[in-house]
């Protein structure tokens, strides 16, 4: 099964994908995590990616497509994958379709998450992430704080704030998303594999609730 997570920064793509990974038994692959790992290690790719990410801009298509195509060759994703953060442009989506077609596969489900912009900004600036790359548990200082300040409940590692999780960068990322990524909604609507849902505290519907709805949808539609 091949699932894509769509949604502006802060809608909960990573959180929901993590829950789906446990429920469905297929790995979550985040292009953002791949880039951040390379930035931390200061590889050539990391240095290139950082020049765009630090400004809230998208990494160029050719670089991102190459990374994903290579990842799709790994043994652990042959039975399924949850793509978090890719595709982000229609061109990336078209190239992904071509890559999958060669393998006799296709995108089975595209989960589109929506959240009001002001709520997204509040959510992201209060987001903290476990520094342990094997854990990567996500917290929110307002909605889902850790039991002990600055420490991960799951593994005890320090929590960190991403460098790009600032209000200024978030607004730029949201603008970039609106301009370049939202056309993907129409692209997948035409293909008939889009599942859209609101993620918002205003209706008391957050990550866990959405994940349960998605699992139910998958089962009911035999995806």
User: What are the pLDDT tens digits along the chain (223 aa)?
Assistant: 999 999 888 888 888 998 999 999 999 988 877 777 778 888 887 888 888 878 877 788 887 888 788 888 889 999 999 999 889 889 999 999 999 999 999 999 999 998 888 888 888 899 999 999 888 888 999 888 999 999 999 999 999 998 888 888 888 888 888 887 788 999 999 999 999 999 888 777 887 899 999 999 999 999 8
Which residue range(s) make up the domain with 98?
A: 2-115+164-220
Give the CATH number of the domain where residue 74 resides: 3.40.50.300
In a domain, 120, yes or no: no
In a domain, 19, yes or no: yes
In a domain, 29, yes or no: yes
* Total domains present in the chain: 1
In a domain, 132, yes or no: no
Using CB atoms within 10 Å of the CB of residue 152, give its burial: 0 to 12 exposed, 13 to 18 middle, 19+ buried: buried
φ, ψ for residue 106, nearest 5 deg:
-155, 165
> How far from the centroid of its chain's Cα atoms is residue 174's Cα?
14
Residues acting as catalytic residues: 13, 88, 127, 162, 173
In a domain, 200, yes or no: yes
In a domain, 42, yes or no: yes
**pTM (2 d.p.):** 0.75
Instruction: Please tell me the distance from the alpha carbon of residue 152 to that of residue 184, in angstroms, as a whole number.
Output: 35
SS3 annotation, the chain = CEEEEEECCCCCHHHHHHHHHHHHCCCEEEHHHHHHHHHHCCCHHHHHHHHHHCCCCCCCHHHHHHHHHHHCCCHHHCCCEEEECCCCCHHHHHHHHHHHHHCCCCCCEEEEEECCHHHHHHHHHCEEEECCCCCCCEEECCCECCCECCECCCCCCEEECCCCCCHHHHHHHHHHHHHHHCHHHHHHHHHCCEEEEECEHHHCECHHHHHHHHHHHHHHCCC
């Amino acid at each position: 099964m091949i699932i894509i997570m769509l949604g502006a920064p802060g809608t909960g793509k990573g959180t929901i994908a993590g829950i789906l990974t446990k429920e469905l038994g297929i790995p979550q692959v985040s292009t953002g995590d791949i880039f951040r790992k390379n930035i931390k290690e200061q590889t050539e790719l990391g240095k290139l990616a950082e020049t765009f990410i630090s400004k809230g801009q998208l990494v160029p298509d050719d670089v991102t497509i190459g990374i994903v195509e290579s990842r799709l060759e790994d043994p652990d994703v042959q039975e399924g994958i949850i793509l978090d953060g890719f595709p982000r442009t229609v061109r990336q989506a078209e190239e992904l379709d071509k890559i999958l077609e060669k393998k006799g596969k296709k995108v089975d489900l595209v989960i589109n998450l929506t959240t009001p912009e002001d709520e997204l900004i509040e959510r992201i600036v209060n987001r903290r992430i476990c520094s342990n790359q094997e854990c990567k548990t996500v917290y929110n200082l307002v909605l889902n704080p850790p039991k002990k300040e600055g420490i991960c409940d799951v593994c005890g590692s320090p929590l960190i704030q991403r460098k790009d999780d600032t209000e200024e960068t978030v607004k730029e990322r949201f603008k970039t998303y609106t301009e370049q990524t939202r056309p993907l909604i129409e692209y997948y609507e035409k293909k008939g594999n889009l599942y859209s849902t609101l993620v918002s505290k205003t209706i008391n519907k957050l990550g866990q609730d959405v994940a349960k709805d998605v699992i139910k949808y998958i089962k009911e539609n035999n995806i």
